[in-house]
């Protein structure tokens, strides 16, 4: 939200980073 000082990226960037993080965590489980 706009009240968070550490949010400097737009929603698309956040979603891309989140998907990459999920893929990374999934790769650790195998």
Report the phi/psi class of residue 7: left, alpha or beta, with left for phi > 0 and alpha for psi in -120 to 50: beta
Give pLDDT, residue 18.
93
Which pLDDT does position 11 carry in this prediction? 83
Determine the Cα–Cα distance for residues 8 and 1; give it in Å rounded to an integer.
Answer: 10
pLDDT at 10: 81
Positive or negative: CA dihedral 13, 19, 21, 24: negative
Distance CA 11, CA 17 (A): 10
pLDDT digits (tens, 9 = 90+) for 1-30: 566 666 666 888 889 999 999 999 999 987
- Residue 5: phi and psi, rounded to 5, are -75, -20
pLDDT of residue 23: 95
């Amino acid at each position: 939200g706009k009240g968070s000082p550490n949010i400097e990226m737009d929603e698309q960037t956040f979603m891309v980073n989140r998907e990459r993080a999920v893929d990374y965590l999934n790769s650790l489980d195998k």
